[in-house]
Structure 1
Amino acid sequence: MRLRATSLLAMLVILALPAGLEARADESPAAPAPNAKPEAQEAPKPQTPEELRADLYARLAASSDADETDGLVGLLLAAYAQSGSDTGDLLLERARKAMGEKEFDAAGKILDSTVALLPDWAEGWNARATLRYLDDDFDGSMADVAETLKREPRHLGALMGMSHILEARDKKEQALKVCERALAIAPHWRSAEKTADRLKASIANDEL
């Protein structure tokens, strides 16, 4: 959710012996026929969106460098947008364009269609949560964040969005806990660290 102020290893080819032919232990392998072309290896299969996200989560957990973490988070946020459906990807692109132009009604209609068409795609719900947040519909946004996290419990955008909604409702302690959930997934993520630091300072000031 956008912040408001913002090979498979290559498979070896198994050469099958022609039917009825048995290899003998004392025989040397037959030399390849002249001009014979090597057997083609199968190309590595591309990662599914789920496999890509799992790989990025694992890399985030292992990262100890803030620059690397920020880069991995960027890749992960982009990976969320991969629905596995050309139609879903196109709808999201159009919705984001409409949101950028503050055409919230048009974006809402597109995203309503998106979640109806692809109800299991977390990013469709998260995009609508973002739209509702921008339109000051915090209740609707929080409901869509919940739907997002049902499908992608580690969705960093949704977690940070929830944190901001809670902060806007003056529920700073809860907001901090949610922010810390994001940091548990992506340690050294600068954006989340800054939010957590701000919340801690605000809570401490309230306690004075």
Structure 2
Amino acid sequence: MSAERPILNSTVTAFLLAILFSLPLSAETGGRLEALYAELKQAEPVEAQRIAKEIQLEQSKSGSAAMDLLLKRGRDAMEAGDLEQAIEHLTALTDHAPDFADGWHTRAIAYARVGLYGPALADIERALALNPHHFDAIASLGALLEEVGHEKLAHDAYTQVLAIHPYFEDVTTALERLDAEFGGSEI
């Protein structure tokens, strides 16, 4: 880990992981999403990918056309590399739709890309408080923890993702990388 990277406060990180791992997996409020998550756990690899995409589509719906437009604008700005504009759109989204987990998760990604790890971690915490099944947010948590040198905590987060989405390829790759880096031993 380079000296330039900000180090996350270990207490904050541990607190977030304690919250993450203590949330019941049945806390999801949407009946449709709950059914999709149950299907995802039991699905074969090809079917799991289809179900995961369906979950991601459902999670990206805020229930408001205006909020969905802010999410789209934020994602488009990130894709175009305009992270400042993305954060502005996504902040407007989280201000106006504070119960929309995908808005918080998307802004966390933008914050992480500009190196604002504290705000990114706070947004992931909020997203997971709203939707503890949000496997993309948990995967982002793992990536963020890995980025700042908390490999054991990253490994734990990635493992939690696979408990929800057993065939998440990027997470499987990340776990293989961590295991190889540490000789397959306990991290």
Query: What is aligned with 1:55?
Result: 35
Q: Distance in 1 between matches of 2:175 and 2:77?
A: 31
Query: Residue deviations 1:130-168, cap 9 Å, x none?
Result: 111111212211111001000001111110000001111
AA aligned opposite 1:173: K
What is the match of residue 112 of structure 1? 91
Alignment of 1:148-159 (within 5 A): 148-159=127-138
- The structure having more radius of gyration, on CA atoms, is 1
CA RMSD of aligned residues (A): 1.7
Deviation sequence 1:84-116 (CA, Å, 0-9, x none):
111111110111111111112211111111111
Q: Answer yes or no: is the 8 Å Cα contact 1:183–1:189 preserved in 2.
A: yes
**Distance in 2 between residues matched to 1:52 and 1:137, nearest whole Å:** 34
Q: Which has the higher helix share?
A: 2
The aligned runs of 1:28-177 (5 Å cut-off) are 50-63=30-43, 65-177=44-156
**1:193: Cα distance to partner?**
1.6
Unaligned runs of 5+ in 1: 1-48
Contact 1:163 1:176 in 2 (8 A): yes
1:196 to 175, 181, 186: 175
Amino acid at match of 1:61: K
Q: Measure, in 2, the Cα distance between the counterparts of 1:206 and 1:137.
A: 31
Letter in 1 for 2:35: D
Letter in 2 for 1:55: A
Q: Distance in 1 between matches of 2:53 and 2:109?
A: 17
Counterpart of 1:8 in structure 2 is: none
* Cα distance change of structure 1 residues 186 and 177 upon mapping to structure 2, 3 Å threshold: same
**Take 1:163 and 1:122, find their aligned partners in 2: how far apart are those partners?**
17
Runs of at least 4 residues of structure 1 off by over 4 A? none
- 8 Å contact kept, 2:133–2:164: yes
Q: Where in structure 2 are there 5+ consecutive unaligned residues?
A: 1-28
Aligned length: 158
Kept after mapping to 1: 8 A contact 2:179/2:185: no
Equivalent position SS for 1:204: coil
TM-score by length of 2: 0.79
Which residue does 2:3 correspond to in 1?
none
